Amino acid sequence: MDVVNTWEIRTAKIICMLGMCMSSFTLIMELPNPKDELLDDILVKCGPLLMFISVATGFFRINVGNYNKYMLIIAPGIFLGFNIYVLGQQVNMLRITEDQILAAGRNLEHIFIVFPFFALLSLFIFRLWAVLLWLALSLIQPMKDYLIFTRLDQVYFTTNQQLLATDGNAVNQGIFSSYLTIYSLYLTAIASVAFFNRWVLKSTVELEKSRANYSRYFSPDVRDEIESSKNNTNEKSSRDLTVAVMFTDIVGFTKLSEKMQPKEVLELLSEYQTLMVDAIFQHKGTVDKFIGDAVMANFGTPKSHGNDAQNAFDCALLMNEKLSDWNAERDKNGLVKIEHRIGIHYGPCVAGNMGSEQRVEFAVIGDVVNVASRICDACKEFDTNFLVSSDLEKKVTHKEDNERVSNYKIRGRKDTIDLVKIY
Q: What is the pLDDT of residues 14-42, one digit of tens each?
A: 888 988 998 999 889 888 888 878 888 88
pLDDT classification of 103: cutoffs 50, 70, 90: confident
| pLDDT computed for residue 216 by the predictor | 59
193 backbone dihedrals φ, ψ, rounded to 5°: -65, -35
Q: How many CA atoms lie within 13 A of 133 on its CB side?
A: 16
pLDDT classification of 312: cutoffs 50, 70, 90: very high
Is the pLDDT at 315 greater than 70? The verdict is yes
* Lowest-confidence pick of 62-76, 197-211, 219-233, 243-257: 219-233
| pLDDT computed for residue 66 by the predictor | 80
Distance CA 389, CA 369 (A): 12
115 backbone dihedrals φ, ψ, rounded to 5°: -60, -45
Q: Identify which has the larger pLDDT, 402 or 89.
A: 402
**Whether 242 contacts 346, CB under 8 Å:** yes
| pLDDT computed for residue 421 by the predictor | 92
What is the overall mean pLDDT for the chain? 82
| pLDDT computed for residue 220 by the predictor | 60
Q: Which residues of 379-412 are buried (b: 16+ CB within 10 A; e: fewer)?
A: beeeebbbbbbbbbbebbeeeeeeeebeebebee
Superfamily of domain 233-422: Nucleotide cyclase, GGDEF domain (3.30.70.1230)
Average pLDDT on 238-251 reads 89
Is the pLDDT at 174 greater than 80? The verdict is yes
Within 33-153, residue ranges assigned H as helices are: 38-61, 67-95, 104-109, 115-120, 128-138, 140-150
Is the pLDDT at 275 greater than 90? The verdict is yes
pLDDT classification of 230: cutoffs 50, 70, 90: very low
**Whether 168 contacts 106, CB under 8 Å:** yes
Is the pLDDT at 262 greater than 60? The verdict is yes
| pLDDT computed for residue 110 by the predictor | 77
Is the pLDDT at 222 greater than 70? The verdict is no
pTM assigned to the model: 0.53
pLDDT classification of 95: cutoffs 50, 70, 90: low
pLDDT classification of 321: cutoffs 50, 70, 90: very high
* Lowest-confidence pick of 22-31, 220-229, 344-353: 220-229
Average pLDDT on 386-391 reads 92
**Whether 134 contacts 122, CB under 8 Å:** yes
Count CB neighbours of 284 within 10 A: 22
**Whether 104 contacts 152, CB under 8 Å:** yes
Is the pLDDT at 2 greater than 70? The verdict is no
Average pLDDT on 189-211 reads 73
Distance CA 135, CA 112 (A): 13
Q: Of the ranges 74-88, 119-133, 300-314, which is most confident? A: 300-314
Count CB neighbours of 92 within 10 A: 13
> Of 90, 25, 87, 79, which Cα lies nearest the Cα of 54?
79
Average pLDDT on 158-181 reads 86
Segments making up each domain of the chain, as ranges: 6-213, 233-422
| pLDDT computed for residue 360 by the predictor | 59
| pLDDT computed for residue 83 by the predictor | 81
Q: Identify which has the larger pLDDT, 59 or 207.
A: 59
* Lowest-confidence pick of 90-94, 109-113, 179-183, 399-403: 90-94
Distance CA 128, CA 229 (A): 34
